[in-house]
Chains A and B, each alone.
Chain A
């Protein structure tokens, strides 16, 4: 059996051929990445959540629990939903009242509001937040698994890549609110 060592020139040639294409591909990769960097668009999920929050107001009866001429939606924890709600507030009203969006940073800051959206990014415990929700008239909406069971009135969940919501009728009535049967029919009821 005759043995053979690949000669140096052959190796060198292969090496050059090997590197040329890779470098081109690498450049292309970075080009693609730089081109496809996302523009500052808001996440579609929060577009939908904001629309949900707005639509919920049609199915909840605050009765006489909305003082003043404004309908306040509070948000605790940073969330992309804020800019979306701001967008809705520009053109829509709730029960003929102007929509105001308020950002709260910690539970102690929570002031009077008709809806309190609890962002999944907040680092505070749900119990601490609910303890600070002032009296009656606030619909709490969360977006974390198990939160409806733990006391939030409404909780967003994802089923098969679609947004659904859980409703906790006890939590809703404890807040002095009434939910329409239509809303409860669409919701996943959590006791």
Chain B
């Protein structure tokens, strides 16, 4: 009740405060007494100028700018995504998050933490994919860049693989890094320290030589402690001390080298830009990162995840031809000191396209793409005993050809965008076609209608394709865990309608309504008994499920500027219905066993014809960016974020079936963040940052830590 009153009270003060500010605005008559110098120093604000304009964009998209991130006091890229409509950001432990565009999480339900988060969002840094091909999604802590590197974050909602490649199925998050725009020296540095020993230090140093050549080197460091001690234990539904579940000293030290640590990471980057002439430019980026976090993986307790990686990214543009080649390589340990959880990996991306412009209002871009990813656990696992996850070097690649067209007609009032992409993977072998048709129609300069129809698929995941383990059960009986190279790729179809309106000079509204249908989910299925000379094998293999998930939903976002006050609320309402869902990961051909007690009636087809709701995605979520530029020096920002009730169902639910264990019932969350900053001489800003002001202590993710109120302070320098 107290929470509700606070919430209501807070929001209702906004209009009055904002109207109050409006009243105090200077009138033209008053300003006409100012000198030219004084007039030149008054800051101005309007909708089109405070936000990167996405008004004409054919897809549902949002741009979060560096300025907004700074004013909102976001402490990481993941946290900054809470400023974006249609994005669900859940904290697992201090600073570690899962990020879902429009849900599509915990599918199929009861499967286990591998798939509790959305695996179908493509994250890129300067168009370079940083997708986690192991089980989909993103290992966010392994991004080499941090907020000091970020110019803006572009988010596209809805399937967009035809434009961005596989995995852009729920959407795309593209992190665009900064370049020194002005000639001369460029310095950005910031440091902050706060509760839970959270320390963040970032710095960039660059130089722009006559707009021809520019260079930046940057580095970032974060350390954060957990908000609590103890580890969640499913059996007792309690947090228990570490030595009660890992009794062996050396094993404990190997698995949990820093039990209080939530995150410690550093990254470094170098960027060279060379503009040869008007029609030719080249940029080269390279860097690396090292990270240690404790978060949730496919194990019973929190795990220590370790990662070291290096990347290079080259982009060249010559007369409408774009070439991008990138390479990422590293070592990944999602669960330290667990036998089968360490491997080397690398991924290569090459993209070539040619932009043919202005053929009677028609822009055409044909292109070719090659993506390859390799995982290799031979160096770390006892391959002879099949103790690794893959027990070998496995690779997945795709050759693709794509074509995009953009056609404007009726004095640019109608715009038609079409894109198609044909992917040929090594496994599965069949061809995949993703497409996108979008049309925008401008009723006037101030009102735009949109429609999008698209299909996108995920890339094959290493876990489901190349999983290869053997677990001895007893004499003459083994479990074989197998991947499957013939699975159908997860595919989403979407139909979306949108409207954007500039209701007034200082008020914009963006509405999108979408319906999606996603099929080809997979799970490890208990299969038939396989007899060999050595004995019997019970085969657990990834297989296609008849499950179909249909989403329907809509997002409304508003951007309102009144003088020095900006109010940007956004809200998404959605619901996911599951068709043909069966909780039984059992083939009808499986033998009767403890894993498959009645395969004839309880199998993957038992849910045919049924409808259930997916409870894992909050029905309503959103937030607001509320900024008061009190004086030209003093800024106050509120950025609340909320999620309605949701229920994550883990595999433990099937083990304990008591509705408690394995069931994370998250009551409505309301997280209020406040940032106060004071700028001296345009370059130096001091700030105080308050996160989760109402100290909402509801756990946000299954087995995660309980979040706490966080206060930090720091300094930001820009030259």
Chain A contacts to B: CB under 8 angstroms? 1-6, 10-11, 14-15, 17-19, 21-22, 25-26, 28-29, 31-33, 35-39, 41-48, 50-52, 54-56, 59, 80, 84-85, 87-88, 90-92, 158, 161-164, 183, 186
Contact = CB atoms under 8 A, between A and B. Distances in A.
Interface stretch (B40-48, B388-396, B455-463, B531-539): B40-48
15 contacts: A11-B613, A14-B645, A21-B620, A21-B644, A36-B18, A37-B507, A42-B28, A44-B25, A46-B28, A51-B31, A54-B28, A59-B36, A161-B43, A161-B45, A163-B40
A183 B28 contact: no
B571 interface: yes
Interface in B8-53: 8, 11-12, 14-15, 18-19, 22, 25-29, 31-32, 34-37, 39-46, 49
Given A4-B110, A4-B654, 6 more contacts: A6-B653, A11-B613, A35-B14, A47-B31, A48-B44, A88-B29
Interface in B597-642: 597, 602, 612-613, 615, 619-620, 622, 642
A43 B506 contact: yes
Contact of B571 (A21, A29, A183): A29
Interface stretch (B318-326, B373-381, B559-567): B559-567
A22 B32 contact: no
A181 to B, nearest CB: 13
A19 to B, nearest CB: 7
Contacts of A5: 583
B473 to A, nearest CB: 13
Contacts of B612: 11
A91 B29 CA distance: 8
A43 B32 contact: no
B40 A47 contact: no
Nearest to B8: A28
A2 B654 contact: yes
B221 interface: no
Given A38-B506, A51-B31, A163-B42, A44 B563 contact: yes
A86 B667 CA distance: 56
Nearest to B7: A28
A26 B36 contact: no
B40 A92 contact: no
Q: Give the 9 A-B CB pairs with smallest separation, nearest first.
A: A4-B657, A51-B31, A84-B28, A22-B620, A35-B15, A50-B28, A47-B28, A54-B32, A51-B32
Nearest to A23: B620
A22 B29 contact: no
Contacts of B35: 55
Contacts of A59: 36
Contacts of B619: 18-19, 22
Looking at B36, B567, B594, B622, which has the most chain A CB atoms within 10 Å of its CB? B36
Contacts of A164: 40
Nearest to A54: B32
B447 to A, nearest CB: 15
A45 B27 contact: no
A4 B563 CA distance: 57
Contacts of A87: 27-29
Interface string B641-661: 010111101000111010100
A14 B647 contact: yes
B504 interface: yes
Contacts of A84: 27-28
B435 interface: no
A21 B505 contact: no
A186 B36 contact: yes
B14 A36 contact: yes
B573 interface: yes
A50 B41 contact: no
A158 B668 contact: no
B171 to A, nearest CB: 22
Contacts of A41: 22, 25, 562
Given A4-B653, A18-B619, A36-B18, A45 B44 contact: yes
B645 A35 contact: no
B680 to A, nearest CB: 16
Nearest to A4: B657
Contacts of B12: 32, 35
A43 B35 CA distance: 20
A80 B44 CA distance: 15
Interface residues of B, number: 68
B337 to A, nearest CB: 26
A18 B584 contact: no
Contact of B25 (A22, A47, A161): A47
Nearest to A121: B445
A31 to B, nearest CB: 8
A182 B645 CA distance: 63
A88 B29 CA distance: 5
Given A21-B644, A25-B642, A47-B28, A38 B504 contact: yes
A14 B666 CA distance: 11
Given A21-B645, A25-B644, A161 B49 contact: yes
Nearest to A40: B504
B27 A32 contact: no
B175 interface: no
Contacts of A85: 28
B288 interface: no
Contact of B32 (A33, A46, A88, A161): A88
Looking at A38, A85, A183, which has the most chain B CB atoms within 10 Å of its CB? A38
B399 interface: no
A99 to B, nearest CB: 11
A84 B30 CA distance: 11
A25 B27 contact: no
Contact of A44 (B36, B45, B110, B569): B45
Contacts of B41: 162
A178 B657 CA distance: 87
Contact of B28 (A6, A22, A51): A51
Nearest to B11: A32
Contacts of B22: 38-39, 41
Looking at B14, B27, B32, B560, which has the most chain A CB atoms within 10 Å of its CB? B32
A55 B32 contact: yes
Contacts of B665: 14
A43 B613 contact: no
A48 B44 CA distance: 9
Contacts of B569: 29, 32-33
B558 interface: yes
Contacts of A37: 507
B29 A43 contact: no
B209 interface: no
A33 B620 contact: no
Contact of A52 (B25, B36, B110, B504): B36
A154 to B, nearest CB: 11
Interface in B452-498: none
A164 B42 CA distance: 10
Nearest to B646: A18
B39 A51 contact: yes
A131 B646 CA distance: 65
A139 B664 CA distance: 69
B602 A162 contact: no
Contacts of B245: none
Contacts of B597: 2-3
A136 B653 CA distance: 85
A36 B8 contact: no
B582 to A, nearest CB: 9
B111 interface: no
B46 A45 contact: yes
A36 B615 contact: no
Contacts of B560: 36, 38
B669 to A, nearest CB: 10
A92 B34 CA distance: 13
A168 to B, nearest CB: 17
A2 B620 contact: no
Given A3-B654, A17-B645, A25 B571 contact: yes
Contacts of B558: 33
